């Protein structure tokens, strides 16, 4: 067979060990917090029926679904159609019944409905799995990436929003990432649209306002005018672009403006209650009520949450909100839920750039036994289990190679300690421990080696 030059499909990645241990550190930190709050893990299959996925992500989303060709004679489903003149989109529906999941939300909604009789509500679940999108790959955008979702469904209480904000603060504090949490409420946005007399253009207004961070105010105003927002409306809207003061005074200011809209009043009431509930959470000013925040508006119905890294301008590292009818499309209406999703790739980038990974968390092998031959192998085979029992990550060099080669291996892998056990050590029942950074060597007993390495580990 011809030799192939190996590569991975564009937009996908191999995760090598140095990346994996860092990613695992992030996932484990997040997962541990989820678990401490009583959230339980769920996993769903990579493949879902296309009927489950289609129509949930808009027309654009449907195009980005990866479709799995039906097994066997997939052509049969086309019957007598003139395939060559058919629409590829229609044909793909005939040739494929399954697709790869596009996010974790729709599979979760499907899961909740399918398992409704086994689930005790309110249901707290988390899910950490890859998703696939046939998007154009570009810097920071992949065709395969992990999502890390946490949701509670079956409860309207704003205590859930509070809990998620507490979880966000806890997770980013453990990861050592300084973060700003922006919150808003879709009902407040609806109230604003009503207040400026453009209730029917809510989607346009919020889509434009959402760009205020990246684009300037001028550009946003121009876009709004293009979309048919009148001068009077803009005059009322513009002051909201730059509301000043603390959360409370912003809410009070808006309360007066939005008093004419029932939805607006509801939104303000919810925001006031939430601000009460989160009083004292996090650093002063860490949670900011921001009316410009919109995030996938058609989806959320209440609270909206977005988290930014304070020290890296990289977009949101976490986001989510409340949705009142997640499961209606699958025949289970009226189930309210709220959830957020942590962006593992961006969190990784922030931590990498700011060098926030603790050395101990990403360390690999701590001790390498050098291999001098058959007699020494028996000796090291007998010693290594005691090291591992004490939690020391211990490797044996498998081949009888030259010492120089074995030390080069330790160096290249960043192994801090090497155990040298030759004839002399064997006879004395000792171990020569070499510290790779200093080059220092000492003859020690087994217990001393364990003590030495464990006290070195504590320095991190």
Q: Where are the alpha helices (DSSP H) in 216-365?
A: 217-226, 231-241, 247-257, 262-277, 344-353, 359-362
Question: What is the nearest approach in angstroms of its own copies to the Cβ of residue 339?
Answer: 13
Rank residues 42 and 453 by Cβ distance to its own copies and give the closer one.
42
Which of 309, 276, 321 has its CA nearest to residue 180? 309
Neighbour order of strands in the sheet with 417-420:
394-396, 367-369, 417-420, 431-435, 441-444
Question: What is the nearest approach in angstroms of its own copies to the Cβ of residue 52?
Answer: 6
Question: What is the nearest approach in angstroms of its own copies to the Cβ of residue 38?
Answer: 3
Yes or no: say if 154 and 123 are a contact pair by the CB < 8 Å rule: yes
Rank residues 317 and 368 by Cβ distance to its own copies and give the closer one.
368
Which contiguous run of DSSP H or E holds residue 219? helix 217-226
Question: What is the nearest approach in angstroms of its own copies to the Cβ of residue 91?
Answer: 7
Yes or no: say if 226 and 253 are a contact pair by the CB < 8 Å rule: no
Rank residues 192 and 344 by Cβ distance to its own copies and give the closer one.
344
Nearest-angstrom CA–CA distance, 135 and 144: 10
Rank residues 173 and 213 by Cβ distance to its own copies and give the closer one.
173
Question: What is the nearest approach in angstroms of its own copies to the Cβ of residue 189?
Answer: 24
Nearest-angstrom CA–CA distance, 56 and 361: 39
CA 448 to chain centre: 42
Residues in CB range of 189: below 8 A, 6 or more apart: 202, 205, 206, 267, 291, 294, 297
Rank residues 122 and 197 by Cβ distance to its own copies and give the closer one.
122
Question: What is the nearest approach in angstroms of its own copies to the Cβ of residue 163?
Answer: 7
Yes or no: say if 206 and 296 are a contact pair by the CB < 8 Å rule: no
Rank residues 259 and 454 by Cβ distance to its own copies and give the closer one.
454
């Amino acid at each position: 067979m011809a030799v192939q030059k190996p590569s991975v499909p564009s937009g996908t990645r191999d995760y090598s060990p140095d990346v994996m241990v860092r990613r695992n550190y992030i996932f484990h930190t997040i997962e541990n917090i989820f678990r401490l709050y009583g959230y339980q893990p769920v996993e769903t299959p990579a493949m879902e029926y296309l009927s489950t996925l289609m129509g949930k992500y808009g027309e654009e989303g449907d195009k980005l679904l990866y479709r799995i060709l039906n097994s066997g004679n997939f052509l049969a489903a086309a019957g007598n159609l003139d395939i060559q003149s058919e629409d590829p989109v229609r044909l793909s529906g005939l040739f494929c019944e399954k697709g790869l999941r596009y996010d974790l939300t729709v599979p979760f909604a499907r899961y909740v409905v399918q398992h409704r009789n086994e689930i005790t509500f309110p249901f707290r679940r988390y899910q950490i799995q890859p998703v696939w999108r046939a998007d154009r790959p570009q810097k920071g955008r992949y065709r395969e990436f992990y999502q890390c979702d946490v949701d509670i469904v079956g409860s309207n209480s704003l205590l859930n929003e509070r809990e998620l904000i507490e979880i966000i603060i806890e997770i980013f504090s453990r990861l050592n990432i300084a973060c700003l949490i922006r919150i808003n409420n879709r009902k407040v946005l609806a109230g604003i649209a009503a207040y400026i007399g453009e209730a029917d253009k809510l989607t346009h207004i919020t889509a434009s306002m959402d760009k205020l961070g990246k684009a300037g105010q001028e550009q946003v105003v121009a876009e709004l005018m293009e979309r048919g927002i009148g001068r009077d409306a803009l005059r009322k809207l513009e002051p909201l672009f730059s509301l000043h003061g603390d959360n409370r005074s912003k809410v009070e200011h808006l309360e007066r403006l939005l008093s004419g809209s029932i939805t607006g009043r509801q939104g303000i009431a919810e925001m006031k209650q939430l601000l009460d509930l989160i009083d004292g959470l996090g650093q002063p000013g860490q949670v900011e009520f921001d009316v410009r925040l919109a995030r996938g508006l058609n989806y959320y119905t209440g609270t909206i949450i977005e988290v930014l890294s304070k020290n890296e301008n990289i977009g949101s590292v976490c986001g989510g909100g409340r949705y009142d009818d997640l499961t209606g499309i699958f025949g289970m209406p009226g189930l309210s839920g709220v959830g957020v999703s942590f962006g593992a790739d961006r969190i990784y980038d922030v931590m990498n750039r700011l060098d926030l990974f603790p050395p101990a968390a990403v360390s690999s092998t701590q001790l390498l036994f050098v291999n001098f031959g058959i007699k020494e192998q028996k000796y090291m085979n007998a010693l290594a289990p005691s090291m591992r029992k004490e939690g020391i990550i211990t490797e044996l060099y498998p081949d009888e190679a030259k010492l120089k080669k074995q030390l080069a291996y330790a160096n290249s892998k960043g192994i801090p300690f090497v155990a040298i056990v030759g004839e002399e050590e064997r006879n004395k029942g000792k171990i020569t421990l070499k510290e790779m950074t200093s080059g220092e060597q000492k003859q020690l007993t087994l217990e001393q080696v364990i003590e030495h390495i464990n006290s070195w580990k504590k320095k991190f």
